[in-house]
C-alpha cells in the first residue's frame, strides 16, 4: 500500500470483517511496528478502539493523565480539562475505578472524550459509532457536525456507511488485506456493498 492522508482530512477505511482495517489503523497509529516499508506521521496521534492504548490496571483518572501526557499536555493543562472529559464520558461515578471493570461502551466513551478534549492532531477512530448506547452515539456524531473537527485529521473505520458518506472526503476500500480503491466515498461504498451481496 502507498497512500497519503492530508492534514485536516476525514479519511474513511471500509471493508468486510477480517480484511485488515484495524491492523492497518494500528500500523498507522504506531501500535504495531511495520515489517517492511514505513509510516510517516506529522502530529500527535490517538487511537480509539475500546480502550486500546489505555492501561486496564489504572483508573479512569490515571488513564486521563497518562493519555494527556502522551499527547504532550502538562499536568496543569490536564487539570483544566479533567472535569470536561469525565462529564462528556458520563463517568462521574467511576473516576477512581480501574478501567478493567468498564464495559466496552464505557471504555469507548472515555477514549473518545480524552481524544476530543485533549486535542490530538490525528485521531484514529475504529468503530467508535458501533459501541455505547444511542445517546452516546448521538453525542459522538454531534462532535463531527461541530467545528471541533476542523483542522483535525481523522481516520475513521466504520461499517456505518451513512457516517462514512456524510463525513469522509476520501475513503479506502480494503479487500483480503489489499487496498482495492482510494477515492470518493460513493465509489468505495458501492464496491463494499457489491462485495457484501
Domain 1-43+121-197: give its CATH superfamily. P-loop containing nucleotide triphosphate hydrolases (3.40.50.300)
Phi, psi of 62 (to 5 degrees): -65, -40
What's residue 132's pLDDT?
A: 63
Q: What is the pTM of this model?
A: 0.77
For the cut 60, the answer to whether the pLDDT of residue 50 exceeds it is no
For the cut 80, the answer to whether the pLDDT of residue 145 exceeds it is no
For the cut 90, the answer to whether the pLDDT of residue 72 exceeds it is no
Domain regions of the chain by residue span: 1-43+121-197, 54-120
Task: Please write the tens of the pLDDT for every residue from 150-186.
Answer: 677 888 888 889 889 988 999 999 999 999 999 999 9
What's residue 147's pLDDT?
A: 52
Helices 104-118 and 134-145 cross at an angle (nearest 10°) of: 20
Amino acid at each position: 500500500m502507498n497512500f497519503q492522508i492530508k492534514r485536516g482530512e476525514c479519511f474513511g477505511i471500509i471493508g468486510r470483517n477480517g480484511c485488515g482495517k484495524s491492523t492497518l489503523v494500528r500500523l498507522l497509529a504506531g501500535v504495531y511496528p511495520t515489517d517492511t516499508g514505513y509510516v510517516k506521521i506529522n502530529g500527535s496521534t490517538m487511537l480509539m478502539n475500546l480502550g486500546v492504548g489505555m492501561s486496564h490496571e489504572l483508573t479512569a483518572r490515571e488513564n486521563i493523565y497518562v493519555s494527556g501526557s502522551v499527547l504532550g499536555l502538562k499536568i496543569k493543562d490536564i487539570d483544566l480539562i479533567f472535569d470536561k472529559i469525565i462529564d462528556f464520558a458520563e463517568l462521574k461515578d467511576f473516576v477512581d475505578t480501574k478501567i478493567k471493570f468498564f464495559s466496552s461502551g464505557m471504555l469507548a466513551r472515555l477514549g473518545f472524550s480524552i481524544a476530543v478534549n485533549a486535542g490530538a492532531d490525528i485521531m484514529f477512530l475504529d468503530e467508535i459509532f458501533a459501541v455505547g448506547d444511542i445517546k452516546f452515539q448521538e453525542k459522538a456524531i454531534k462532535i463531527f457536525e461541530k467545528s471541533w473537527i476542523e483542522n483535525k485529521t481523522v481516520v475513521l473505520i466504520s461499517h456505518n456507511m451513512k457516517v462514512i458518506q456524510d463525513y469522509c472526503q476520501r475513503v479506502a476500500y480494503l479487500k483480503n488485506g489489499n487496498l482495492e480503491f482510494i477515492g470518493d466515498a460513493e465509489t468505495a461504498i458501492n464496491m463494499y456493498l457489491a462485495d457484501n451481496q
